[in-house]
Amino acid sequence: MIIDDNLLDRLETLSQLTIASDKREATKQSLSEILGFVEKLNELDTSQADAISTLFDARARLRSDEPKEDRAVFEDIIKRAAKADERCFITPRIVG
């Protein structure tokens, strides 16, 4: 798949990113290479592969889930918010 300027513009809009004009060609090339790799992966015959198979034994290491209240961390996060009251972030309304 070839990434052209129109598709790159759409990707910029969807991702809410701005790609500098001097980086656009390199970005288009990189995205085209990534999509080419994915297309190549789609050619693999995976009909005999177990859906849950893995190359290594990865088990989730569990930890105890203990809630902790650290007021200093909370206050640091709130002070960095664009808008906040004493206990919540204030965000713009997005649903009518």
Give me the residue spans of the domains in the chain.
5-42
The string of DSSP codes covering the chain is ----HHHHHHHHHHHT----GGGHHHHHHHHHHHHHHHHHHHTS--TTS-TT--SS--------------HHHHHHHHHHSSSB-SS-B-------
pLDDT of 77 reads 87
pTM (2 d.p.):
0.49
Q: What is the mean pLDDT of each run of 10 residues along the chain (96 residues)?
A: 90 93 94 93 84 67 82 87 85 82
pLDDT of 57 reads 64
For 67, the token pair is: 């809630």
Whole-angstrom distance, CA of residue 4 vs CA of residue 32: 9
Amino acid present at 83: K
